[in-house]
Amino acid sequence: METADNGTSTAVETVASLVLGLTCFVGIPGNSFVIWVILLRMKLRSLTVVLILNLAVADLVVLITLPLWIYSISNSWVFGAASCKILAYLIHCNLYGSVFFITLMGIDRYLAVMYPFASLQWRRKEYVWRAVVIVWLLAFLFAVPIILNRKLEIFDGSPSCSGGHYVSKVQQMLCLVLETLVGFVIPFSVLAICYGCVAKRVGQMSFQKKNRSEMIIVSIVIAFVICWLPYHVFNVVELASLMFEPGSDAAEILEDVFVLGSFITGPLAFINSSINPLLYAFAGRNLRDAFRSSVMSKAFEQMAQPTRDESTPTSDNAPRMEIVESL
């Protein structure tokens, strides 16, 4: 039995390392390319493009740390106790940042469609960067609990950077609830409401032009849900296990389900940081040229390009249509 368990553990570690390695291989150059295109190939940057820039930065920082975690999976954590806490905190800061920037994109879509003229005020440069700073501050704040429950431990004679070290069951439950509410439930609810209202309003409008930037952002949201929903479902499973008496059959079964699920949902959550550049690239009309910087910058420029109606509105419906199409 022990041999079988060791074999299963080794197989899981190998698969996790391969998935995380592929995520790095795709995501690091992809997000670096997005940052390069926006910073060096674009002069005009809309709110959406600024949010995409910050999303790419957050994703890139997460992915840069992955080689250290991949090494520690198959070996041990040799980078010290301080780096264990710092890198875990850095990852959670940027994961929260990614979620918050995606949510802000949804809010921006809602305001642009429902209140197009008022949204022009919100899209002024000073307000855009204030929003970006607030998002990062919130990400730094909500990631603080990871510092408290992360530490270096010795397992089988080897150091390991592990989490889940809480002073009480209540603290553990509060941290799980906070992570799931702030990291998924609230953002997803906001996105669902915003895009529900947008879909209803757009359905009432009589224009046929496809909005490429709208498709990009909807794709980002869908990828976010696919990659993060399983992670938070198993968070709820762990939370449920804590509600039973320690050592009871129900608690042990739920804990086993959580441990098994975490091997799958952890790498899946990291995949979200590598998939967004692919969505930007395939927004190009010609997939063969999808990764050319000129094609990607053209997709971003379409988001940033203002229309004459934004500055000189003439009617209630027509300017609204032009503003929506240009976002």
> Residues 285-313: pLDDT tens digits?
443 344 455 555 555 555 555 443 344 34
Predicted local confidence at residue 156, as pLDDT:
75
> Residues 94-119: pLDDT tens digits?
889 999 998 998 898 888 888 888 77
Average pLDDT over residues 33-53: 80
Question: DSSP letter at 163?
Answer: -
Residue 56 near residue 35, CB atoms below 8 Å: yes
Q: What is the DSSP string of 84-123?
A: HHHHHHHHHHHHHHHHHHHHHHHHHHHHHHHSHHHHHHHT
> Residues 53-86: pLDDT tens digits?
999 999 999 999 999 888 888 778 888 888 888 9
Rounded Cα–Cα distance for residues 18 and 13 (Å): 9
Strands (E), 148-215: 151-155, 158-162
Angle at 122 between CA 118 and CA 125, to 5 degrees: 140
Residue 173 near residue 235, CB atoms below 8 Å: no
Does residue 4 register a pLDDT over 60? no
Q: Which of 66-70, 177-181, 247-251 comes out lowest in average pLDDT?
A: 247-251
Predicted local confidence at residue 177, as pLDDT:
92
Residue 268 Cα to chain centre, angstroms = 11
Predicted local confidence at residue 286, as pLDDT:
40
Confidence bin at 185 (pLDDT 50/70/90): very high
Q: What whole-number percentage of the chain has pLDDT above 90? A: 19
> Residues 120-155: pLDDT tens digits?
777 787 888 899 999 999 999 999 988 888 888 887
Question: DSSP letter at 271?
Answer: H
Predicted local confidence at residue 313, as pLDDT:
40
Predicted local confidence at residue 151, as pLDDT:
83
Question: What are the chain's domains?
Answer: 14-304 (1.20.1070.10)
